[in-house]
Amino acid sequence: MSDLPKAVRINEEGPREGFQIEKGPITTAQKIALIDSLSQTGLQQIQTVSFVPAKNVPGMADADDVVKGFTRKPGVAYTGLWLNEMGLQRAIATGKLDIKGTLSLCASEKFLLRNQKRTLKENLEAQHSIVKMYQANNVPVVRAGLMAAFGCNFEGDIPIPQVLDTLQQMLDVAQQYELDLQFFSLADTMAWATPLSIRRVVGAVRDRFPDMAISLHLHDTRGMGIANAYAGLEMGVSIYDAAVGGLGGCPFASHRGAAGNVCTEDLVFMCHEMGIETGIDLDKLIESAQLAEEIVGHPLPGTVMKGGSLARMREKIALAA
């Protein structure tokens, strides 16, 4: 309990996570409106779009126009996703995004084979050309992401040594290319984590790599999202990905209809009520969540947007007294 951080940083991924999976149609103007709304909440980082071929992800066909359309707020890092050099070039060409590179490995070979048609070894080799691509474009590589760090629908439970070895492989690549990696992002891609496994994996990673910061990317597919975030807080983790309203979902067939990312405003609510700063105005964030729900046209899984903030409740009580 004494390890709770004083402040956390939240990387808002709702626009990218949501618009790539929602059936829509969602207009470019609506996407821009949500990003601009999120910019007013105090969030310091917003992942806006994914630069992928429209034939693969129709909801991202207008990615360039979305980025062109939003209004930059000073102090907010707007980011994008890409899977290859063509995507990276599109992101750079917008001139409005915070361009940082990521090394990306996976703790599960079976997932990698299904998802990217690569073995673990081939994927590790691919990181070399990815680093070269970033260096050729003067893009700093600051983040090392590990998918399926807590378990995999195709491989099952992931032994902790496998997680540690894979993270070490990324540090080896980083050393070879003199990258200034700042943190490991551990992703619970298929929602296998529980608070106990969060504690165990984060503890093992911290013990082995005490100089690296850790961030968590948590899915709520089995309802553990907020509990897992709490376990992360207990372990001192201070960086979280989250999606406003719980936007997004799970693209894996066996999870159709299941919840997606951990919900930003629920996470912010928990942090504030436990005395952890986020820099975010929860009531404004709830307004963004309500806008997101209006845009997608169906109920989103977020709960605080329906239950209301306690800060607002305390104000009402004080007024009534």
| 266 scored as a contact of a copy of itself (CB under 8 A) | yes
Q: How far is CA 162 from CA 151, 153, 168, 170, in A?
A: 11, 16, 10, 13
Of the candidate residues 90, 269, 285, 296, the single one contacting a copy of itself (CB under 8 A): 269
- Residue 135, SS3 per DSSP: helix
Catalytic residue among 106, 152, 250, 263: 250
Least separation in angstroms between CB 1 and a copy of itself: 6
> Using CA of residue 126, residue 61, residue 35, residue 260, what is the dihedral sign?
negative
Whether 250 is catalytic: yes
Q: Which of 11, 102, 16, 13 is nearest to 62 (CA)?
A: 16
One residue of 107, 250, 291, 296 binding a copy of itself per CB under 8 A: 250
Among 153, 166, 189, 290, binds a copy of itself (CB under 8 A): 153
Interaction between residue 192 and a copy of itself (CB under 8 A)? yes
State yes or no: residue 113 binds a copy of itself (CB under 8 A).
no
Rule CB under 8 A: say whether 310 interacts with a copy of itself. Answer: yes
> Could you tell me the smallest distance in angstroms from the CB atom of residue 174 to a copy of itself?
32
- Per CB under 8 A, the segment of 11-19, 42-50, 169-177, 229-237 that binds a copy of itself is 229-237
Of the candidates 85, 169, 92, 94, the residue with the CA atom closest to the CA atom of residue 132 = 85
Q: Shortest distance, CB of residue 33 to a copy of itself, whole angstroms?
A: 23
Task: Give min distance, CB of 2 to a copy of itself, in A.
Answer: 11
The Cα 189–Cα 152 span in angstroms is 8
Taking every pair of C-alpha atoms in the chain, what is the biggest distance, in angstroms?
A: 66
Element of type H or E holding 17: helix 14-19
The C-alpha atoms of residue 59 and residue 78 are separated, in whole angstroms, by 19
* Among the residue ranges 75-83, 84-92, 122-130, 258-266, the one whose residues contact a copy of itself (CB under 8 A): 258-266
Listing DSSP states for 174-237 in one string gives HHHTT----EEEEE-TTS---HHHHHHHHHHHHHH-TTSEEEEE-B-TTS-HHHHHHHHHHTT-
194, 206, 209, 212: which one binds a copy of itself (CB under 8 A): 194
Residue 313 binding a copy of itself, by CB under 8 A:
yes
Contact call for residue 156 and a copy of itself (CB under 8 A):
yes
Inter-axis angle of helices 310-320 and 264-273, to 10 degrees? 60
Q: Which is nearer to a copy of itself, 173 or 304 (CB)?
A: 304
Distance between CA atoms of residues 129 and 87, nearest Å: 15
Site membership for a copy of itself, residue 216 (CB under 8 A): no
Q: Which candidate, 189, 186, 190, places its Cα nearest to that of 170?
A: 186
Verify binding: residue 187, a copy of itself, rule CB under 8 A: no
Q: For residues 136 and 196, which CB has a smaller minimum distance to a copy of itself in the complex?
A: 196
Give yes or no for a contact between 112 and 106, defined as CB atoms under 8 angstroms apart.
Answer: yes
Say whether 145 sits in a helix, a strand or coil: strand
- Annotated catalytic residues are 250
Binding site for a copy of itself (CB under 8 A): 1, 4, 151, 153-157, 191-192, 194-197, 199, 220-224, 226-227, 229-231, 250, 254-255, 257-259, 263, 266, 269-270, 273-275, 299, 301-304, 306-308, 310, 313-314, 317-318, 320
